[in-house]
Amino acid sequence: MLRKVRVRYAQGILLSMTLTWTPVFIVAMKAFLGIDVWHSFSRIWLLANILFGLAVVPVGIWILRKLSAGLNDRLLDELAGSSLTAASKFLADLARFEEGSVSGEL
């Protein structure tokens, strides 16, 4: 069940990026280049980008559903964060080993 939650979480992030790229673009343009997008770009351009982001969400969901049937387990494990889980377990084992070695030397 945790694997499904992790995969859905990753998919949610990927899909939400389509909606947040326009506000991120506006902030980045102001922060890095000093360009006020609200006054420099037409409202039609901004609205078109927001609508495009909204239109990409259902298409993205459809693509993810089609691809998820054919994805191999390794890719799903990577999306689910199994590499992170394995790395965390390794670090915990390493810390226990070091503690055991230090206490064994004393």
pLDDT in tens, the chain (106 residues): 666 677 677 777 777 787 788 888 889 999 999 999 888 888 898 888 888 888 887 887 777 777 766 555 666 666 666 666 777 788 888 888 888 765 444 4
Q: Give me the domain span that covers residue 95.
A: 73-106
Same domain for 91 and 80: yes
Contacts of 83 (CB under 8 A, 6+ apart): 77
Same domain for 88 and 65: no
Same domain for 77 and 61: no
User: In Å, how far are 8, 28, 50, 90, 100 from 37, measured between CA atoms?
Assistant: 33, 10, 14, 47, 59
Instruction: Specify the number of domains making up the chain.
Output: 2
Same domain for 54 and 16: yes
Residue 32: its pLDDT value, please?
Answer: 93
d(CA 68, CA 73): 10
Same domain for 77 and 64: no
Nearest by Cα to 7 from 89, 84, 80: 80
Residue 45: its pLDDT value, please?
Answer: 85
